[in-house]
């Protein structure tokens, strides 16, 4: 679908690489620009057969090529600009001051390639006083109110969600808005610069869920969705495990009462309408917990399925990896990585007619495609060797590792 689109990806960590993974899975030629030490996720994301190739990095950087350059070196920067000259998209998530120091602002890029859509992923809006602050997922989980919502529901201490939810959410927004900008360029010829702030992007989503009564002036109640914040809004214990169940509609609730063998509750004014249940949400959840604890999980799954009430057994991550279903639908497939050996690859979950979502390229070593990409950009052999000799460009050595001698430096 995006096979004619070239993306120069100057990002690292999660938000940018996940965004470009989405584009790469759709067929885009994603050129991952790394420093000589590589993306930070190579070094903080778990074990790997060879250094710098952990699972999290492999999953977010499939279908990409890697070029390793020292952007602080004049020749390294010049080489990057040669690559950018043929790009449709240039994406970066460095702090604004670093981009200015490197001479890679949207204006600098437009001078080389006026047709390139540029995208800056920033921690905070550049219109506000927090524009130069660093931002990471855990910091933003706290600052956005998400960590305090976890405490409000559990009655305990603030806690982070064990998933980089803000980075991943922002990444989907980045990918979506890049495709919108490419569509606009195709239709109108307009070339746009995108600025996507992680903090504001997530706060907008969180408030749409939890502004609640504070939406109105004067307020009609406190912030926070009571259905989601009740301590019992969690997997429910059965006699031998846990079950996950959702009953949002009146029909689902009435069916649940039948499945529980409590049809008289269908006439209970506390529970038979949505507004009433919200007002009595703690009572409703407590009743549900008492009833479901009486029988085993398998019983409830069968009974609720017959009533068309959404429910599934609670699973762990280990359970997922042992679940035949994910292999049957092709989400997990066995592949062979040139340096890491046999591995499980996570496929694209979407099915799009006429598009093969299979992994086309393995995740690269640092600078695995440096020569290839620079040749495509017009570098002849003499210039290539000069770039390597000056340590302005890097490629894997015979052992498969970068010429960086294991040093882990960032691009700015």
- pLDDT higher than threshold 60 for residue 147: yes
pLDDT at position 18 is: 98
Alpha-carbon gap, residue 209 to 226, rounded angstroms:
11
Range 236-313 classified under CATH 3.30.1540.10: yes
* Angle of the 15-25 helix axis to the 165-188 helix axis, nearest 10: 50
Alpha-carbon gap, residue 235 to 374, rounded angstroms:
53
pLDDT at position 232 is: 86
Using DSSP's 3-state secondary structure scheme, residue 396 falls into strand
- Give the number of other Cβ atoms within 10 Å of residue 261's Cβ: 11
Closest CA to 304 of 360, 357, 236: 236
Element counts in the chain: helices (H) and strands (E): 19, 12
pLDDT at position 3 is: 94
Alpha-carbon gap, residue 314 to 321, rounded angstroms:
14
- pLDDT higher than threshold 80 for residue 400: no
* Fold matches, 6-204+358-394 and 236-313: no
pLDDT at position 214 is: 96
What are the sequence ranges of the domains in the chain? 6-204+358-394, 236-313
Cβ-in-10-Å burial (0-12, 13-18, 19+) of 87 comes to buried
- CATH code matching the domain that covers 6-204+358-394, chosen among 3.40.50.10540, 3.40.50.300, 3.20.20.105, 1.10.287.610: 3.40.50.10540
Alpha-carbon gap, residue 180 to 175, rounded angstroms:
9
pLDDT at position 410 is: 37
Q: Phi/psi at 246 (nearest 5 deg)?
A: -130, 130
pLDDT at position 408 is: 37
Alpha-carbon gap, residue 68 to 31, rounded angstroms:
10
Alpha-carbon gap, residue 364 to 58, rounded angstroms:
8
pLDDT at position 397 is: 73
pLDDT at position 409 is: 38
pLDDT at position 401 is: 54
Alpha-carbon gap, residue 182 to 27, rounded angstroms:
14
**Mean pLDDT along residues 327-351:** 93
- pLDDT band (50, 70, 90) for residue 227: confident
Alpha-carbon gap, residue 42 to 336, rounded angstroms:
19
Alpha-carbon gap, residue 19 to 15, rounded angstroms:
6
Alpha-carbon gap, residue 243 to 53, rounded angstroms:
36
- pLDDT higher than threshold 60 for residue 399: no
Closest CA to 112 of 149, 75, 86: 86
**Structure tokens given for 322:** 């042992």
Lowest mean pLDDT among 72-76, 183-187, 288-292, 397-401: 397-401
- % of the chain with per-residue pLDDT over 70: 96
Alpha-carbon gap, residue 236 to 287, rounded angstroms:
11
**Mean pLDDT along residues 352-375:** 92
Return mean pLDDT, the chain. Answer: 94
- pLDDT higher than threshold 80 for residue 405: no
pTM of the predicted protein model: 0.91
pLDDT at position 402 is: 55
**Mean pLDDT along residues 263-291:** 94
pLDDT digits (tens, 9 = 90+) for 90-134: 999 999 999 999 999 999 999 999 999 999 999 999 999 999 999
CA angle 104, 110, 114 (to 5 degrees): 150
First to last CA, the chain: 33
Closest CA to 366 of 26, 41, 44, 56: 41
Alpha-carbon gap, residue 63 to 31, rounded angstroms:
10
**Mean pLDDT along residues 62-83:** 98
pLDDT digits (tens, 9 = 90+) for 158-209: 999 999 999 999 999 999 999 999 999 999 999 999 999 999 999 999 999 9
- Supply the DSSP string of 138-170, one letter for each residue: HHHHHHTTHHHHHHHHHTS-----SS-HHHHHH
pLDDT at position 220 is: 95
pLDDT at position 404 is: 46
- Give the number of other Cβ atoms within 10 Å of residue 270's Cβ: 14
Closest CA to 73 of 365, 394, 375, 402: 394
**Mean pLDDT along residues 62-66:** 97
**Mean pLDDT along residues 252-275:** 95
Asked if 309 contacts 253 with a C-beta cutoff of 8 angstroms, the reply is no
Strands 242-245 and 311-313: antiparallel
pLDDT at position 356 is: 81
């Amino acid at each position: 679908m995006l096979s004619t689109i070239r993306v120069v990806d100057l990002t690292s960590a999660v938000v940018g690489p996940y965004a470009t993974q989405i584009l790469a899975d759709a067929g885009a030629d994603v050129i991952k620009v790394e420093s000589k030490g590589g993306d930070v996720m190579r070094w903080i994301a778990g074990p790997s057969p060879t250094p710098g190739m952990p699972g999290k990095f492999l999953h977010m950087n499939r279908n990409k090529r890697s070029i390793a350059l020292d952007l602080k070196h004049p020749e390294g920067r010049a080489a990057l600009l040669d690559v950018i000259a043929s790009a449709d998209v240039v994406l970066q998530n460095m702090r604004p001051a670093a981009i200015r120091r490197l001479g890679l602002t949207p204006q600098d890029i437009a001078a080389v390639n006026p047709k390139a859509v540029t995208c800056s992923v920033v921690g905070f809006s550049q219109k506000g006083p927090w524009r130069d602050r660093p931002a990471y997922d855990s910091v933003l989980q706290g600052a956005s109110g998400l960590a305090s919502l976890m405490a409000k529901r559990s009655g305990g201490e603030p806690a982070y969600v064990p998933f980089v939810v803000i980075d991943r959410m922002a990444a989907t927004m980045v990918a979506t808005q890049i495709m919108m900008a490419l569509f606009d360029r195709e239709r109108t010829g307009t070339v746009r610069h995108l600025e996507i702030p992680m903090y504001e992007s997530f706060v907008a989503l969180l408030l749409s869920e939890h502004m609640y009564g504070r939406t109105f002036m004067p307020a009609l109640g406190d912030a926070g969705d009571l259905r989601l914040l009740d301590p019992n809004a969690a997997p429910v214990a059965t006699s031998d495990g846990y079950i996950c169940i959702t009953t949002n509609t009146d029909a689902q609730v009435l069916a649940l009462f039948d499945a529980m063998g409590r049809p008289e509750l269908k006439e209970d004014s506390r529970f038979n309408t949505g507004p009433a249940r919200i007002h009595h949400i703690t009572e409703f959840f407590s009743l549900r917990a008492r009833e479901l604890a009486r029988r085993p999980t398998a019983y409830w799954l069968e009974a609720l399925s017959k009533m068309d009430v959404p429910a599934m057994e609670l699973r762990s991550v280990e359970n997922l990896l042992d679940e035949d279903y994910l292999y049957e639908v092709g989400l997990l497939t066995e592949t062979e990585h040139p340096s890491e050996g046999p591995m499980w690859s996570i496929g694209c979950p979407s099915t799009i007619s006429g598009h093969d979502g299979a992994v086309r390229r393995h995740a690269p070593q640092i600078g695995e495609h440096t020569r290839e990409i620079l040749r495509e950009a017009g570098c002849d052999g003499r210039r290539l060797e000069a770039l390597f000799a000056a340590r302005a460009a890097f490629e894997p050595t015979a052992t498969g590792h970068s010429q960086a001698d294991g040093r882990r430096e960032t691009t700015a």
